[in-house]
């Protein structure tokens, strides 16, 4: 059985209008601002820094709550406690996603966005990923 990501212990809520064209957003996606609030991505041809964490499902044009910092719980996730997690790139984490693999393609954005605290939970803080994990 696959489980959806759950946003826990979120801090600093922000109401935003989702951008993009025909895109569906889900809790835990990372978004950034680039002519509107869109999926964050580390790929050199489409770099959009992660700035917020999506807190609820929505589509382009919806007004939703996002968070600046949160714990993501994913029962299916193979997180490694103590490991850093990076903004996804095309083919590795994907748009709005996170990955345990630091981007290696020349020009890709190396944005550390979180630290795993267990095999099911990662603290995501695109602004200060080295912060002490004190909200678990």
pLDDT band at 84 (very low <50, low <70, confident <90, very high): very high
Query: Which pLDDT value is given to residue 91?
Result: 77
* pLDDT score at 130: 58
Neighbour-count burial of 1, counting CB atoms closer than 10 A to its CB (0-12 exposed, 13-18 middle, 19+ buried):
exposed
**pLDDT tens per residue, range 19-51:** 988 789 999 999 999 999 999 999 988 889 999
Could you state, in order of their start, the residue ranges of all structural domains in the chain?
6-124
In 1-136, where does DSSP find H-type helix?
Answer: none
pLDDT tens-digit profile of 89-130? Answer: 887 788 899 999 988 888 888 899 999 999 999 999 998 655
């Amino acid at each position: 059985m696959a489980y959806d990501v759950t946003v826990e212990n979120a801090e600093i809520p922000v109401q935003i209008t989702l951008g993009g064209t025909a895109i569906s957003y889900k809790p835990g996606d990372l978004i950034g601002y680039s002519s509107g609030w869109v999926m964050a991505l580390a790929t050199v041809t489409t770099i959009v820094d992660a700035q917020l964490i999506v807190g609820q499902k929505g589509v382009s044009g919806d007004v939703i709550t996002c968070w600046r910092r949160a714990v993501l719980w994913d029962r299916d996730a193979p997180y490694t406690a103590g490991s850093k997690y990076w903004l996804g790139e095309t083919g590795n984490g994907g748009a709005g996603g996170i990955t345990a693999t630091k981007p290696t393609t020349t020009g890709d954005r190396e944005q550390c966005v979180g630290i795993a605290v267990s095999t099911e939970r990662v603290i995501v803080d695109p602004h200060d990923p080295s912060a002490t994990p004190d909200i678990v």
